[in-house]
Structure 1
Amino acid sequence: MAVPNEPLFLMNQVYRKVFPIVHRELFYWKQKALQIENEELKKQAIDSITYKAFHCEGGGIMSLLALKGKRDAIEFIVAYQTISDYLDNLCDRSTSLDPEDFAALHQAMEDALTVGKVPRDYYRMRSDRESHYLSGLVLRCQEVLSRIPNYPLIKDELLYLSRIYCELQIHKHVAEEEREERLQQWFEDHQSKFPEMEWFEFSACTGSTLGIFCLVSYALRPDFKPEYAAVIREGYFPYIQGLHILLDYFIDQEEDKEEGDLNFCFYYKNPENLFKRLQHFIREADRHTRKLPHSRFHMLINRGLLGVYLSDDKVNSQKKVRDLARKMIRSSGAVSFFFYMNGRAYRNVMRFLSGNPYIKSQV
């Protein structure tokens, strides 16, 4: 089995060998979520799987780098991304605005990457609690990592990416009047390494789990080399991860405005400035793939991000977003257009399946 380097081959592998396993894993965790005793936590756990399954689908594509270790990679990716989505729901939709609460919850993400770490009481700063779901996800991640001989070679890079991710989640979920100042002060600690970025762009770069999934997938390969760890982290962070999250925020602008949620795209002066910076991130993301092993695969990931996000149904309901999305697709080449059309077709199929009672009962 080879790492895909052409769009058609990639999507063939994704639909046949990745998504079915991802959906089986999600079904398993949904059954676990249904067993949560606390009604609020149960709701947030089920909602995170129901409405954010595409995060696990997208992350699961990275498992193709693992070759024969693909199933282990998917098991890890789904568990880790489910932690991320569940905690995001708890922080976004919670009545709590306590940074200590958010820090306690997000210790789960670091513990999940630390083999042998005993799960803590992640709910200790809030009244809602449960006894098995979050700790079970943490232990599943540890279990997969414990089976990877190359785990010690990637551990430091995993923890670096996890820590900056968790720091972002803590700062961005506090009281609305405190968010910007906290994020700006946080950026000051890192600005010397990222002089060409604004604080909100740096924040976006820290908010993706793609680098973690790439590291784990590569570590499952028998030909993994020690120097790959830093190369992969530097390849994905900041620009590929930044492109990922900026696109995510780009299509969520209307929804975030209604909910009063922080959206990094709001800080650009105008649509022209937003377009210019997104183009910059696309160019830099492509440039950073050149040092990565299997660079063509990672280039496809960049183009896939564009196609998948810009084909989302949310785009059509927002005129300014729709106009800018079309401009981006036109300027990004044939491969991006392929993934754009593929994304639209996939969503149409999924809508049909979810609306057909007979098919729905069979899946």
Structure 2
Amino acid sequence: MSVPSTPIHLMATIYRRIFPNTNRELAKWRKQAEAIPNEELRSQALNSIDTKTFHCEGGSIYSLLAHDNWRKATSFIVAYQTISDYLDNLCDRSTSLDPDDFRCLHQAMLDALTPGAALHDYYALREDKDDGGYLNRLVQTCQQSLAQLEQYDIIQPYTHELASLYCDLQVHKHVQLEERVPRLEKWFDEYANKWSDLTWYEFSACAGSTLGVFCLVSYCFGPQMTSQLADQVLRSYFPYMQGLHILLDYYIDQQEDLEEGDLNFCSYYEHEGHMKERFLYFINQTKQHVKALPHASFHHMVQKGLVGLYLADSKVQSLHGADDMVKALLNVSGLKSKFFYVNSKLYHKIKPGLA
């Protein structure tokens, strides 16, 4: 399968092939989640699939970079994103506030990126333990996918770098409320010299995305992986593309996070005008940094698609100042972003009828 270079080609491929295959993969994991013996783990596993399907759908778009191996890439993407969403639910809705517990859980994300690695007792530090092997199977599915890649050793240092940042973030952001910001600020101190244009909360957002991992793995399933390409992907996706992704995700969840008492990085901007200014900065930086990648038009469409997809979410309508934000971000992203915005709204309306 060729990598789409126009919005119409991209959307047609996504709706006809990518999303249906992604939802079939998710249905398999949902069936396994239904069989989890522990009630709390079962509830969180099912909730993570039912409420975060769009994470897997969005991530699976990268499978197009794998050409004829797109189904294999999708299998990895869905399993890895399902681990991410499941563990996020366990940490967000957990009675535990133990950073060691969160570190233990997220070892699964590093093991998933290490073919042949021994599995750990990921629930060792929590009361709810019996998932019937659900998390182990997710990890092993990822390992088995990556074991098929002859050149995985080229990208493994890069996938682990991104995953380590992700895991650090998840540990720091889920501890006791009064410890979260000091821990995240101290963590950012280690990187502040390199990323002096970012604040601690923007850097945290950049660490919270899985897009760079999906891009690396999908390219590795394709015919052209090299050390130079792996390095280009890392520099193109971290921090700005990943930051844009997660800042948009936090933007639409502001009201929900306020009600649930969850940390939301958008709340640390001085005012809405400041937030808009910084979102525009991330969009422009992303545009510049993906230019050097093969299939640059595809990556530009992903950036525009992120803007269109998130701003089309129904939750945006309830946010103060949303009309101005939506208009500004769509305008700077151009006509393609508006195309994705309209298509996303239509997709959300008709999706129940597609099931």
Q: What is the TM-score of this pair, normalised by structure 2?
A: 0.98
Aligned to 1:30: 30
Aligned to 1:102: 102
Gaps of 5+ in 1: 354-358
Aligned to 2:115: 115
Alpha-carbon distance, 1:228 to partner? 1.0
Aligned to 1:309: 310
Residue identity matched to 1:80: Y
Aligned to 2:181: 180
Aligned to 2:275: 274
**Whole-Å separation in 1 of the counterparts to 2:3 and 2:319:** 37
Conserved 8 A contact 1:251-1:321: no
Alignment of 1:233 with 2:234, yes or no, is yes
Classify the secondary structure of the residue corresponding to 1:191.
Answer: coil
Residue identity matched to 1:74: T
Residue identity matched to 1:188: D
Alignment of 1:249 with 2:250, yes or no, is yes
1:76-106 deviation per Cα after TM superposition (whole angstroms, max 9, x unaligned): 0000000000000000001111000000000
Bigger drift between 2-11 and 329-338 goes to 329-338
Alpha-carbon distance, 1:225 to partner? 2.1
Alignment of 1:191 with 2:180, yes or no, is no
Residue identity matched to 1:92: D
Question: What does residue range 85-234 of structure 1 map to in structure 2 within 5 Å?
Answer: 85-130=85-130, 131-234=132-235
Residue identity matched to 1:42: R
Alpha-carbon distance, 1:226 to partner? 2.5
Alpha-carbon distance, 1:327 to partner? 2.8
**Whole-Å separation in 1 of the counterparts to 2:224 and 2:282:** 30
Residue identity matched to 1:263: N
**Whole-Å separation in 2 of the counterparts to 1:151 and 1:64:** 18
Residue identity matched to 1:206: A
What RMSD, in angstroms, separates the aligned Cα atoms of the two structures?
1.0
**Whole-Å separation in 2 of the counterparts to 1:235 and 1:136:** 32
**Whole-Å separation in 2 of the counterparts to 1:323 and 1:41:** 41
Alpha-carbon distance, 1:137 to partner? 0.2
331 and 153 in structure 1: CA distance in 2 versus 1, 3 angstrom threshold: closer
Residue identity matched to 1:283: N
**Whole-Å separation in 1 of the counterparts to 2:2 and 2:70:** 12
Residue identity matched to 1:103: R
**Whole-Å separation in 1 of the counterparts to 2:332 and 2:134:** 44
Gaps of 5+ in 2: none
Alpha-carbon distance, 1:317 to partner? 1.8
Alpha-carbon distance, 1:31 to partner? 0.6
**Whole-Å separation in 1 of the counterparts to 2:251 and 2:320:** 12
Residue identity matched to 1:32: Q
Q: What is the TM-score of this pair, normalised by structure 1?
A: 0.96
**Whole-Å separation in 1 of the counterparts to 2:253 and 2:322:** 9
**Whole-Å separation in 1 of the counterparts to 2:331 and 2:219:** 33
Alignment of 1:349 with 2:350, yes or no, is yes
The runs of 4+ residues in structure 1 deviating greater than 4 Å are none
1:60-81 deviation per Cα after TM superposition (whole angstroms, max 9, x unaligned): 0000010011001000000000
Percent identity for Structure 1 against Structure 2: 51
Aligned to 1:356: none
Alignment of 1:83 with 2:49, yes or no, is no
Alpha-carbon distance, 1:27 to partner? 0.4
Alpha-carbon distance, 1:118 to partner? 1.4
